[in-house]
Amino acid sequence: MDFCRSHIDHLLVNGKRLEIAWHGASPEDAPTLVFLHEGLGCLGLWGDFPSKLAAATGCGALVYSRLGYGKSDASILPRPIRFMHEEALEVLPQLLEVAGIRDCILIGHSDGGSIAIIYAGGTNAPPLRGLITEAAHVFCEDIGLRSIRQAREIYLKGDLRPKLEKHHGTNTDNAFWGWNDVWLHPDFRDWNIEEYLSEVKVPMLVIQGEDDHYGTPAQVEAISRQVPTLVDAVMVPDCGHAPHKEQEAVVFKVMTAYISRLLG
């Protein structure tokens, strides 16, 4: 893999093509920020936030779209209840190995934050230096399920599908129904990843919007209470489910300072 300031490509993981983008330094020259997107996200929906954060911290950045998202290969539906476990314990370790990541900080948004927690607490995570989550879930809440039902109606009757199609293309239905159907499955009410929190061995920054319509502050409280390492928790005012978009300047400043401290 050739590294440059900004490079979009694909990596082959388990025989499947994953869309990736590299920003900044190579893994040989600096730690890598690995971005894990939300349930309806992909590489493109991060915008220029990863490249700007890489430039501000001197790190490299690896951004990728999971199977069924963006320009990655399609995934098999329906997704299993443990789809985030599979991503964290099977796909992510292989992705880091294939990409040659030697030293990294995971930055996960929503489902991506949950995947980051499972990875940190469920693997040996040898290259992991720290963990940053935005709006991560560690258990299922009614507020989130209500919002996911509303998203279903907007996808079927409103403008959500064409908005997503700009980023997911032919993967649009795969991305939406793969996310929506599994979260609304009756068995998903029992989904819980708190068992991984006590096994997290690295420092953690937890960010959540005060007006998040997918989760309450109980998620942050559970993480802060059960993770044995140093946890910095930041509740962002006037902010919903996507802090790095809705309050970019605030979140950028918080993340930059935290990463600089980790690398100190």
Q: Is the pLDDT of residue 238 over 70?
A: yes
Q: Which residues contact 116 (CB under 8 A, 6 or more apart)?
A: 36, 88, 106, 107, 108, 131, 132, 133, 136
Coil, helix or strand for 135? coil
* Distances, alpha carbon 87 to alpha carbons 16, 95, 111, 224, in Å: 13, 10, 10, 23
Confidence of residue 7 (pLDDT cuts 50, 70, 90): low
* Angle of CA points 174, 176, 182, to nearest 5°: 95
Contact 107, 33 (CB under 8 A): yes
Q: How many helices (H) and strands (E) does the chain have?
A: 10, 8
Domains, the chain, with CATH or none: 6-263 (3.40.50.1820)
Give the pLDDT confidence score for residue 125 in this predicted structure. 83
Give the pLDDT confidence score for residue 149 in this predicted structure. 98
Q: Is the pLDDT of residue 8 over 80?
A: no
User: How would you classify residue 163: left for phi > 0, otherwise alpha for psi between -120 and 50, otherwise beta?
Assistant: alpha
For the segment 126-158, what is each residue's pLDDT rounded down to a tens digit?
789 999 999 999 999 999 999 999 999 999 999
Q: Is the pLDDT of residue 93 over 70?
A: yes
Averaged over 66-75, what is the pLDDT?
A: 98
CB crowding 90-109: b at 16 or more within 10 Å, else e = ebbbebbeebebeebbbbbb
CA distance 136 to 121: 14
Averaged over 198-226, what is the pLDDT?
A: 98
CA distance 5 to 261: 24
Q: What is the mean pLDDT of the chain?
A: 96
β-bridge partners, 108: 36, 133
Contact 51, 6 (CB under 8 A): yes
Confidence of residue 6 (pLDDT cuts 50, 70, 90): low
Confidence of residue 3 (pLDDT cuts 50, 70, 90): very low
Confidence of residue 4 (pLDDT cuts 50, 70, 90): very low
